[in-house]
């Protein structure tokens, strides 16, 4: 991926800060579904989001003081770090949100972090970060990171200010400070002169690759065409069956015809019942 220009992404480790900030957008998008209509205060949707996010923040603080129960096989207590990592993994995939709501219900109402813990150990991505797998190996040489612990602490402090609830996730990339293979390449603009139309898909509330990156890349490419998905989750094409995304992408891949410039697809929201709400 070609990152947008600017001081934010050129600074070592800054991409990690952007990702943690993106998690907040994903949390906001899913938060309303964690509040009972009967107990919701009057006000705008933003009021409901604030209430739900505050409940999550309280849960993180509670787990820091006293880890949640874990009935999973490893029986590892679910502390604040494990709660936050579980949220990180679950929020990236919108299909996981119904299970996430159930997990938060169990954690907040019964002090049971079992389902949240399963997010941290039951997915390849979570295991990659915990064990230092191939995903971490790619990240460490794909971006610039601080070269010493003091600089990394400064990065973590910055992330905490940008995203108080998820800033601690930056520590997942601490290993990159000591990674034996280093990169000196800076992000740069790419024009791809002479290329046929190149379709760039961006999701407006993508927690991993922010929509602004897609806008920047499409703008850099001489033949870039931005296809926007006004929705949630990491990536758009393979994770849902929205015709307004799948049809133009498949038409481009099969027939070589890009969508019209400015094409925008709005996510079809499922109807939320009361199950799994807090």
What are the phi and psi torsion angles at 20 (to 5°)?
Answer: -65, -35
Separation of alpha carbons 32 and 28, rounded Å = 7
Parallel/antiparallel/unpaired status of strands 198-205 and 264-266:
unpaired
Give the model confidence (pLDDT) of 246-266 as tens digits: 999 999 999 999 999 889 998
223 or 232: which carries more pLDDT confidence? Answer: 223
Check residue 198 and give its pLDDT.
Answer: 96
Q: What is the torsion angle, in degrees rounded to the nearest 10, for the CA atoms of residue 4, residue 89, residue 124 and residue 102?
A: -160
Closest to 103 in 3D by CA, of 64, 134, 63 = 63
Q: Which of 237, 230, 239 is nearest to 265 (CA)?
A: 230
What's residue 223's pLDDT? 96
Top-confidence residue, 1 or 207: 207
- Using a cut of 0.85, tell me whether the model's pTM lies above it: no
Query: What's residue 263's pLDDT?
Result: 94
């Amino acid at each position: 991926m070609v990152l947008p220009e600017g001081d934010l992404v050129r600074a070592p480790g800054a991409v990690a800060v952007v990702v943690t900030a993106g998690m907040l957008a994903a949390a906001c998008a899913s938060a309303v579904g964690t509040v009972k209509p009967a107990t919701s205060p009057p006000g705008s949707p933003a009021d409901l989001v604030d209430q739900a996010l505050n409940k999550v923040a309280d849960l993180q603080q509670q787990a820091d003081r006293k880890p949640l129960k874990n009935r999973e096989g490893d029986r590892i207590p679910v502390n604040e770090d494990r709660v936050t990592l579980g949220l990180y993994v679950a929020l990236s995939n919108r299909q996981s949100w119904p299970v996430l709501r159930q997990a938060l219900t169990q954690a907040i109402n019964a002090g049971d972090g079992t389902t949240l813990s399963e997010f941290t150990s039951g997915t390849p991505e979570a295991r990659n970060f915990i064990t230092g797998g191939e995903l971490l190996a790619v990240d460490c040489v794909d971006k610039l990171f601080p070269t010493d612990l003091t600089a990394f602490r400064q990065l973590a402090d910055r992330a905490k200010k940008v995203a108080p609830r998820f800033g601690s996730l930056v520590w997942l990339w601490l290993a990159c400070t000591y990674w034996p293979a280093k990169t000196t390449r800076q992000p740069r603009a790419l024009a791809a002169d002479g290329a046929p139309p190149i379709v760039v898909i961006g999701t407006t509330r993508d927690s991993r690759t922010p929509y602004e990156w897609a806008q920047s890349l499409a703008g850099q490419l001489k033949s870039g065409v931005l296809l926007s998905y006004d929705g949630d989750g990491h990536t758009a094409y393979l994770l849902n069956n929205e015709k307004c995304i799948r049809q133009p992408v498949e038409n481009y891949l099969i027939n070589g015809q890009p969508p019209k410039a400015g094409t925008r697809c709005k996510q079809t929201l499922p109807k939320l019942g009361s199950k799994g709400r807090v």
